[in-house]
Each structure stands twice: as structure tokens, then as C-alpha cells.
Amino acid sequence: MHETIAVVFDFDDTLAPDTTSGFLKQAGITDLTAFWRDEVAALYGDDWDPVPAYLYTMIEAARQGRIGPLSRERLAAWGARAPLHPGVESLFDRLRQTLRSSHPRVNLEFYVISSGLGDVLRATRIADQFTQIWASELHYNAQGDATFAKRIISFTDKTRYLFHIQKGLIGDSFRSKPFEVNRKVALAQQRVPLDRMIFIGDGYTDIPCFSLLKQHGGIPIAVYDPDHQERWGNAFTFVTEGRVSNLHSANYSEGSDLSNFLIMAVRSLAERIAVSARSYQG
């Protein structure tokens, strides 16, 4: 029987304030609105997708000397001190504790699927809580400077990694095998079926994951950053269009509505697993 629940997060604006904007600000970009609107979004008119547009613009800004070198070391140094949303650091143990007494045989795993920069996210204080982090990645030359994007994760790209979780294609042995995700896996052999997943995200790039889990019985949850009121309408659209099960402020503190809902969601899936196990044994 399937006895693992996967809780999958987007990262930027979901678990933390946007880490890419944070890096750019401390690197010397004083007008972030202009950077995203006048430089990144300006490329959309030439048919760029949003994620390669921002990666290209960052690489160009580094090449021009506007933000200093775009190196793995500088990105990791920022990730180590990047702020997180309230309650995030204690969330994982609270969710694990939810199952220890009532459903000790059910495993709980955490994942990140993000359009943000992997070298930042893997350096954050919570990186060790995740079974795996999938994010956009940069290629560095011999001098250590970023020169190209070697992985871009956006929109339906994110659903690919839900299938990695579903089929058990996780860990170092699958890092250099990009075609394995196409392998057909029978339901009985799926490590974590889609209806045993919870996905938490905040933006348009998360919509395919919201829709996929909603279609297959998983639990999609939208969050919004209360400090960015201009984005509230976008988040509420996810509810009115029926893409998510619930919408909450990105406050994970103990006793918050979001924390309570995640605890209830984990308990619900664990009970679903227990009922299936009893039916199977009967």
C-alpha cells in the first residue's frame, strides 16, 4: 500500500519573500520595480517566457557590472541569510508530529518545485528539510561566472517533478537521467500517487500543479504574501476559478489558519491511507 504523503512547496513568495528580488536588492539594484517591469517584462513582447527572461536579464546585469559577479558562492551566501515567512522553520516538525501518534506508519516527505534559483534555495536554513529541491539552474564558466541557464522550471515544467515524486524518481541516481520521467509506472508501483500529495504555491507558474492535483484528488493550496497587496487579486482568482482547495496568508506560525489547514490536510490524507489499508487487508 502507498504509505507516503508528499507535501510540495513552491518557494519564492510561498515559503519566503522573493529570494531573487532579495538577492538583486542586496547586490545593488535599487529600483526592483523597474528591473522586473522595464527589463524583464519588456522581453515578453519579443516572445520570451518569464523565467528565461529573468535569468537572461540577471546574467546580463552581472556581465555589465551592475550587480557584481553572478557566482554560485554569492548566490549561496545570500540564500543562507534570506528571510523566511513566519513559522516556516518550525512547520516541518509540527506536521511530522501530527502523524507520530495517530498514524506512525505513514511517512511524510517535503519537496520544493520552484522557478527560483537552485543555488539560493539549497543554501537556505530549511534546505535540509526537503527530500529534494528542483529549481532553475545556471551554468558557470571556468571563472565561476554564470553564463547560461541549464535548467528552466516554469508553468507545466513544474508538473514534471510531481511525476518524479509519483514514480519515485528522486535522489542522486536520477539527477543525470532526464528521460526517466517518461517511464510508465503502474498504479500499484507508484511511490506517491497524486492523490497523496499536497501542493502549496502562490503564482501563475503554479497553476498547472494546482490543476493536476485538483483533477486527481490531491490538495492544492494557494497562499499570498500579505505585504504585497497588489497580488491579492491574482491569488483570489485561483479560488474563484476553482483551481485550489483553499487560500491563506503565507503565515505558517503555530495556530495560524494556514498551519491548521495543513495539519488537517495531512491528517485527512493519512486517514485516507489507513482506510485503504484496512480495506485491502479485509
Backbone angles phi, psi at 108, to 5 degrees: -125, 120
pLDDT at 270: 96
Q: Phi/psi zone of residue 81: left (φ > 0), alpha (ψ -120 to 50 degrees), beta?
A: alpha
Which cell goes with 119? 543555488
Q: What is the pLDDT of residues 9-36, one digit of tens each?
A: 999 999 999 999 999 999 999 999 999 9
Q: Please give the distance of CA 232 from its chain centroid, rounded to a whole number.
A: 19
Q: What is the pLDDT of residues 250-264, one digit of tens each?
A: 999 999 999 999 999
With bands split at pLDDT 50, 70 and 90, how would you rate the model's confidence at 178?
A: confident
Helices (H), the chain: 19-27, 32-34, 50-63, 72-81, 88-100, 118-121, 157-167, 207-216, 232-240, 257-281
pLDDT(4) > 60: yes
pLDDT at 229: 64
Give me the CATH topology for the region 4-16+84-281. Rossmann fold (3.40.50)
Average pLDDT of the chain to the nearest whole number: 93
Enter the pTM of the model.
0.94
Q: What is the pLDDT of residues 222-239, one digit of tens each?
A: 999 887 766 666 777 888
Place of cell 532553475: 136
With bands split at pLDDT 50, 70 and 90, how would you rate the model's confidence at 70?
A: very high
Q: Where are the domains of the chain?
A: 4-16+84-281
Place of cell 557584481: 68
The whole-angstrom separation of Cα 44 and Cα 36 is 11
Q: Phi/psi zone of residue 47: left (φ > 0), alpha (ψ -120 to 50 degrees), beta?
A: left
pLDDT(276) > 80: no
